[in-house]
Structure 1
Amino acid sequence: MKVVLLQDVKSLGKKDDIVNVSDGYARNYLFPRKLAAEATAGKLNEISDKKSSLENKKKKELEEAKALAERLSKIELVIKTKAGVNGKLFGSITGKDIAELIKQKHKIEIDKKKIVLDDAIKALGTQDVEVKVYPEVSAKIKVTVTEE
C-alpha cells in the first residue's frame, strides 16, 4: 500500500515522502497514530504543489542571497580605534562590531553570527572577513583597522 508520511517516521522516511508499506502496518500503526495518510491522487497533487512552491521559494532566497553577497563584496570598512605602540589594539574588533558598522554605514542588516572570524581582530592592518549570507553563498569584506 502506498502512503504519504505526515510526520517523520524513524526507519521509514521523512514528512511528505511517498513510501510502500504493508497493509497491516499502515492500518494498524501509521493511520491510527496519524503518521501517514493513504496516497490518493488529491494527496499526491497537494504534495507536488507544496514541493514546487518550496523549491521556488528556495530559488528566490538563493538569488536574493547572491545579490546581497555581491553588494557586500564591494564594501570596504575602515575602523578607527586606539592602539598601543606595536600596533596592538586596546580591546578587539569582533563580529558584532563589524555587523553594527555595516548597518550604520551601508544600511544592510547582517547577523553577527554570520560573520566568520577565526579570532577577534587584535592588531592594526587590513583583513578579509568572510560573511556567510546563505548556506552556499558567502562574501568577503575588506576590513581595515587604523589608529585613532
Structure 2
Amino acid sequence: MCADCPPQAPASPSKTEIEEGDRLLPRFGADGLVTAVTSDAQTGDLLMVAHMNAEALRLTIETGEAHYWSRSRGVIWHKGDTSGQIQSVVEMRVDCDQDAVWLKVRVGGDGGSCHTGRKTCFYRTVPIGGSLEDVRLVPRDAERLRPAFG
C-alpha cells in the first residue's frame, strides 16, 4: 500500500469464510436486518420470530439478554423491559449463510413471550389440504398467561 493511495474497502468475506469460518459475519438484508428465531431453551418451543439490526445484535451478545429491532416502531426493543418477560440467552446460533440467528432463551416473568399474553406468538394452526380461501385458523396452546400487552 502506498501512502498517497486512497483507503480501500475491506474485501467481502468469501462464501467459505461465511459458511465454514469461525468469525461472526452477519449478512444484514437491504433493510439492515437479520431474522431472529427465538425458542424456549428448556422445552424447545418456538416462541417468536423477530428481527435484529447491528445494534440489537451487539446488545444481545454483550448483555446476554435479547434485543430486537421493532420494525413497526423503528426502535431497539429490549424484550421484557416493560413486561418483565426478559429473555436471557442460553445459546445463540447463526445459520449457514449468517443472515438469521437462533436464540435459545429462558423467559422471565410469567414465562410468556407474546404481546397477546400467551407463551408463544405461534398459538394458531393453519389447516393443510384445503383451499386458501377456506382456511380458518385453529387455536392451539392459546391460553393467555396474562392480559394482552402493548
TM-score for the superposition, normalised by structure 2: 0.23
Bigger radius of gyration? 1
TM-score for the superposition, normalised by structure 1: 0.23
Structure number having the greater strand percentage = 1
Structure number having the greater helix percentage = 1
